[in-house]
Amino acid sequence: MDGILNINKPAGKTSFGTVAMVKRLTGERHAGHAGTLDPEATGVLPVCLGKGTRVVEFMMEAHKVYRADIELGVSTDTFDGEGKITARGDATLITGEMLETTLQNFRGDIRQVPPMYSALKYQGQPLYNLARAGTTVERESRPVTIYRLALVDWQNPLVTLEIECSKGTYIRSLAHDLGERLGCGAYMKNLVRTGYGVFGIDKAISLMQLEEAVQQGNIALYLHPIDGVLGHLPAVTIDAAGEEAIKTGSPPGMGTGDVPEPSSKYCRAYSTEGRFLAILHFSAADNIWRPKKVFV
Which active-site residues does the annotation give?
Answer: 38
d(CA 167, CA 58): 12
**Contact present, 6 and 204 (Cβ < 8 Å):** yes
Q: Are strands 235-237 and 85-88 parallel, antiparallel or unpaired?
A: unpaired
Question: DSSP 3-state assignment of 59?
Answer: helix
Select from 23, 36, 17 the least CA-distant residue to 191: 36
Helix (H) or strand (E) holding 64: strand 64-72
Question: DSSP 3-state assignment of 51?
Answer: helix
d(CA 104, CA 198): 27
Q: How far is CA 172 from CA 67, 77, 78, 130, 231, in A?
A: 12, 11, 8, 18, 30
| Torsion sign (Cα): 116, 117, 118, 121 | positive
Select from 294, 242, 232 the least CA-distant residue to 266: 232
